[in-house]
Amino acid sequence: MLAPSIEHGTVAPRIIPFLLVFFAIWWAWINFTWFASAYDTDDVVYRLLAVLQMAGVLVLAAGVPNAFAHDDFAVVTLGYVIMRLGQIALWVRAAIEHPEGRPVALRYGGGVLVVQILWCARLLLPDVGWLFLPTFLVLVVLEFATPLWAERGRGLAWHPHHIAERYALFVLILLGETVLAAVNGLHAALAAHGVTAPLVTIAIAGFVLLVALWWAYFLQPAGEGLARRRQRSFVWGYGHYLLFAALAAVGAALDAAVQVGARPAPGEQLVVGLSLAVPAGAALLLIWALHAPLLDRPGFPAAVAIPAAVLVLGGGALAPVLGIAGSVVAIALVAAASVATAIAAGTRAAPAPVD
């Protein structure tokens, strides 16, 4: 839904709906991930409750078009609450079957339940535009606060390497979705314009960019860092929302890029170039920033990430001069060069000592 907005130069009004919908998907996933790291029983009841959460995802997805087109989040909220009800049931089961972890499980389950009631109550508010975003943000803060409150004292016995692996797999999923979005855009562009040099260039450069982002992320030994600095896991875990959203936005921008790559309009090219450069640059910067609190020597260091992010933004801003294809090539080359530089400086980061 974001790609057509970029293509038609109306991306700004769609950024907030994109971030809000993405939050619902990401937050339900992150809660299930950390729970599964501590209580991965994988029996019939566990799988059925996981299926219930998958059903919630389908309902949420059905509501995305209305959310983007009309700012109507009723169906998205319903799908989100369904997902969270499955998570509440898992916390209740954990409280019953694991006495040692019962206080934490009850705090989690109770906190999540209260916030879901508030999400449903929010749908009853009058249809006043200025109420929409503030009430959403208040409930987001309450969602973020629930784990912080539940984990006080003795927290979950999550496994750092398992958590790092789950987050890495989500990165792979997002990059895979990005490839799919770009391929779909390429199919449409080929049907409209046939095989052209700009389309081929954008396709190759876009793939190089995605490989560079993937490689940069996997230069960071997050599992080792989490094992040594568990108390910083909240910053690392919550901060991934921005990184994941940036990677998803890269996919939408590449989809739009292949759609308008042959058009000469400078204004359109600038919108598409910046729509790709901003999330790509942010992703490079966040790959470093999220891991810096965990590692003394990040595998993708600040000395590489910060200049790369600045140069990527420059590549996007130069789209009216370079053309969309040239802009995508410039962004991809900077990202690839940053990874090569990080590898040359030392492919593995030294984990930080235990605090």
pLDDT at 350 > cutoff 50:
no
pLDDT band for position 351 (50/70/90)? very low
What distance in Å separates the CA atoms of residue 265 and residue 6, rounded to the nearest whole number? 14
Q: What is the pLDDT of residues 6-51, one digit of tens each?
A: 666 667 777 888 888 899 989 989 989 999 888 878 789 989 999 9
What distance in Å separates the CA atoms of residue 18 and residue 23, rounded to the nearest whole number? 9
Q: What pLDDT does residue 3 have?
A: 60
Average confidence (pLDDT) over 167-196? 80
Q: What pLDDT does residue 165 have?
A: 92
Amino acid identity at 145 = A
pLDDT at 92 > cutoff 90:
yes
Q: What percentage of the chain has pLDDT greater than the value 70? A: 91
Instruction: Please name the helix (run of DSSP H) or strand (run of DSSP E) that holds residue 208, with its range, or none.
Output: helix 197-217
Q: Can you tell me which residue has the tokens 């590449």?
A: 254
Higher pLDDT, 350 or 141: 141
Q: Can you tell me which residue has the tokens 């293509």?
A: 7
Rounded to the nearest 10 degrees, the angle between the axes of helix 160-193 and helix 233-260 is 10
Average confidence (pLDDT) over 191-218? 87
Q: Quick one: 187 exposed, middle or buried, by C-beta within 10 A (0-12, 13-18, 19+)?
A: exposed
Dihedral over alpha carbons 304, 171, 220, 234 (to 10 degrees): 110
Shortest CA distance to 119 belongs to which of 34, 51, 60?
60
pLDDT at 171 > cutoff 50:
yes
Alpha-helical (H) ranges within 71-196 are: 74-97, 102-122, 129-150, 160-193
| 320: CB partners within 8 A, 6+ apart | 266, 267, 269, 270, 273
pTM of the model: 0.88
Which range has the top average pLDDT, 40-44, 120-124, 196-200, 284-288? 284-288
Q: Can you tell me which residue has the tokens 């605090």?
A: 355
Q: What is the pLDDT of residues 94-142, one digit of tens each?
A: 999 988 888 999 999 999 999 999 999 998 887 767 788 899 999 999 9
Shortest CA distance to 252 belongs to which of 26, 18, 73?
18
Q: Can you tell me which residue has the tokens 């972890």?
A: 101
Instruction: Please name the helix (run of DSSP H) or strand (run of DSSP E) that holds residue 67, with its range, or none.
Output: helix 44-70
Average confidence (pLDDT) over 191-201? 77
